[in-house]
Amino acid sequence: MQTIFRGKHFITLEEWSLEEIDTLLDVSYELKRDFAMDKPTDYLPRKTVFLMFFEQSTRTRNSMEAGITQLGGHAHFLDTSNMQIAHGEVAKDTAVILSRMGHAIACRNCFWKQGNTYLRDMAAAATVPIISMQDDIYHPLQAIADLMTIQEKKGRNTKNLKVSVIWAYATTHKKPISVPVSQVLLFPRYGIDVTLAYPEGYDLPDWVIEKARRSAADHGGSFRITHDQEEAYRDADVVFPKNWGNWVTNESTDVIGSLSDANKSWKCTAERMALTAKDSLYMHALPADRINEVEDAVIDGPHSAIYDEAENRLHTAKAVMALTMGGR
């Protein structure tokens, strides 16, 4: 078990070894048991984490705020539109100053070709851990909670478990690619057989696909791409039908276009779930577009694990903070 984490950035799970991720999961399970028993977990007394949001949040903000409180510390919610960032202050200056005032800086910045760069610029200047609460490329807090939920439901030995990450139609906003990217990069490292399904035009970056394939080969799993959604559902143990934007092929911020309209049939239905394994899981990072992405019969049905998945955002966030802000 890895034990040295203090000051380590959490910008992507790609920079965490499997041993470190396993420790993170172990701590998450322990903190979840403690939460269930109402056992105090004051591991970060009087510690402050700054939560910088460039856009809206429900699960991420509340899991971080509740999490640091339950660890004995305090969160400062920072709407960046009300910070000097709005007047042009650069990431370096913000990171240096907040580092001198607290013990960690967490940031959500999903602007395409800006978010991850912004977090990296902060990390280069900060003297405290930088925690990604999602950027344009990665969402490590979501991916680790997803993996924890899969392990809880299917066992910690996930080798050759069939997991499908599937594009679904939605109209709410042009969503980042960070959730599917983080999933297809993490899951093959655990020997999972990953299927990535999407209509042509919703590609993920080439380097992501290449890395996912290498990880699958290195860890005894598999990785494949299909443009047939029924194929992705067939015999799957876990499905993640979720919308993402076609940022790689079209950088426009328009939510709806001819490409998306042509793929309204990409929806998680009870009929498609019937193609999956008998005890399969339906999972979603939330919020789900219940009108377009998924039928109520599925998201509210017996296969759904969305609320367990959402709760695990609390326990994994606490584990990230406990390890990186405290420890040795």
Peptide bond into 287 cis (omega under 30): yes
pLDDT at site 245? 96
Q: Tell me how far CA of residue 36 lies from CA of 39, 40, 66, 153, 156, in angstroms.
A: 8, 11, 15, 17, 20
Residues in CB range of 229: below 8 A, 6 or more apart: 166, 167, 197, 266, 272
pLDDT at site 258? 87
Residue 171, judged by CB atoms within 10 A of its CB (0-12, 13-18, 19+), counts as: middle
Report the chain (328 residues): mean pLDDT per 10 consecutive residues.
92 98 98 98 97 96 98 98 97 98 98 98 98 98 98 97 98 94 98 98 98 98 98 98 96 86 96 98 97 97 98 98 88
Give the integer Cα–Cα distance in Å for 53 and 105: 11
Give the integer Cα–Cα distance in Å for 181 and 289: 20
Q: With beta carbons less than 8 A apart as the criterion, state whether 99 and 124 touch.
A: no
Give the integer Cα–Cα distance in Å for 270 and 8: 43
pLDDT at site 173? 87
Q: pTM of this prediction?
A: 0.97
The structural domains of the chain, ordered by start, are 13-139+313-325 (3.40.50.1370), 142-309 (3.40.50.1370)
Of the CA atoms within 13 Å of residue 275, those in its CB half-sphere come to 14
Give the integer Cα–Cα distance in Å for 163 and 171: 25
Residue 62, judged by CB atoms within 10 A of its CB (0-12, 13-18, 19+), counts as: middle
Give the integer Cα–Cα distance in Å for 56 and 37: 32
Amino acid at 160: N
pLDDT at site 40? 97
Residues in CB range of 155: below 8 A, 6 or more apart: none
3-state secondary structure 97-114: HHHHHCCEEEEEECCCCC
pLDDT at site 327? 66
Q: Dihedral of CA 115/116/122/127: which sign?
A: positive
Residue found by looking up tokens 């949040």 in the block? 57
Helix/strand/coil for 195? strand
- Strands in 74-79's sheet, in edge-to-edge order, are 74-79, 48-53, 104-109, 130-135
Q: With beta carbons less than 8 A apart as the criterion, state whether 11 and 137 touch.
A: no
Pure H helices in the chain:
18-36, 59-70, 91-101, 115-125, 140-154, 178-186, 206-219, 229-233, 258-261, 270-273, 296-299, 306-325
Give the integer Cα–Cα distance in Å for 86 and 61: 20
Q: With beta carbons less than 8 A apart as the criterion, state whether 326 and 72 touch.
A: no
